[in-house]
Amino acid sequence: MTETENIFDSADTVARWRANAERRAAYLGQATERMLDAAGVTAGARVLDLGTGTGDTAVLAALRVGPGGSVLATDVSPAMLEAAAESCTAAGVTNVEFQRQDAGALQSLEPGYFDAVIGRFSLMFVTDLAEALRGIRRVLKPGGRLGALVWGPPERNPFLSLSTRVARREGLLKVPEEQIIGPFRLADRDGLARAAVAAGLEAEVEEVPVEVRARTQETALEGLQCSPLTQTILGALSETERASLEDALKVELETYREGEGYRLPGLTLLLRGRNPA
């Protein structure tokens, strides 16, 4: 988790992540609700939130479970956890606790404690998926449920993969391949389902389409630049190279113009799991 932790623990990344919250809520809203439904996040439930980031999902889960329930919001990044705590305070929710925790190493958590485990775009970054899924089953009560979102293939998610594709084409991709494939590591729908079943979960994976809309080229480019992946690519370039890549991205964005604005389709995969024990 070292590389990912470093990326997501920078003050600049956290600031961009928080600034992008409204845009994120707009294009991920429906998929997130389906994730919460899949995990059975309802009144009174005890919820484990893996990779809470700046707390978007922790707030939503806390509102669902109400005062009779609780949420343990976890992340490997102390900076993200601090931002998540601030988000929860701003939202007026008081039933959330915070803990620095690797989603792939849940041994310190009490077995059979949680009714629900959620993870929005966090499982792709664990070092050992099999161990992570076994850990999730371990902390779930018998009958407890998992809802986790991961990204589908890069070609189905231009909003995430556009910067990589254009940088590669322009000869401006100067970071190791392993640093840019992270978001798409679990894009194999059948493979993800098999991994969950092998960990002892009853599981299925379904496709959940999303789409990113922007009114102007400027706001579309801003959205791209909020991605830690794009920031990693840009961070390896000189000022002149960065400007060249941004110009090339603007040209490429025109292929996604629709009417007065821009529409970039996307695809998430929703892992539904249940601890049968």
pTM for the predicted model, two decimal places: 0.92
269 Cβ contact partners less than 8 Å away, ≥ 6 residues apart: 149, 150, 151, 152, 186, 187, 189, 192, 205, 206, 207, 208
Instruction: Give one word for 138, left, alpha or beta, with left for phi > 0 and alpha for psi -120 to 50.
Output: alpha
In a domain? residue 253: no
Asked if residue 248 belongs to a domain, the reply is no
d(CA 112, CA 114): 6
- pLDDT attached to residue 231: 87
CATH of the domain at 133: 3.40.50.150
Residue whose tokens read 């989603």: 103
Q: Region 180-196: what's the mean pLDDT?
A: 95
Question: For residue 249, is it within any domain?
Answer: no
Interval 14-32 mean pLDDT? 83
- Domain membership of residue 208 (yes or no) is yes
92: buried, middle or exposed (CB in 10 Å: 19+, 13-18, 0-12)? Answer: exposed
Average pLDDT, stretch 50-57?
95
**Segments forming the whole domain that contains residue 23:** 2-153+182-213+267-274
Specify whether the CB–CB gap between 139 and 201 falls below 8 A.
no
Is 172 within a domain? no
Domain count of the fold of the chain = 1
- Mean pLDDT, rounded, for 16-44: 90
Which residue in the block uniquely carries the two structure tokens 């960990």?
A: 199
pLDDT, tens digit, for every residue of 211-235? 999 999 999 999 888 888 898 899 9
- Is 158 part of a structural domain of the chain? no
Q: What percent of the chain has pLDDT over 70?
A: 94
Task: Decide if 235 is inside a domain.
Answer: no
Residue 179, token pair as written in the block: 């640093």
Does residue 95 fall inside a structural domain?
Answer: yes
Mean pLDDT of 40-69: 97
The neighbouring-strand residues paired with 207 are 269
Q: How confident is the model at residue 1 (pLDDT cuts 50, 70, 90)?
A: very low
User: Measured at the alpha carbon of residue 246, what is the angle toward residues 242 and 247, in degrees to the nearest 5?
Assistant: 115
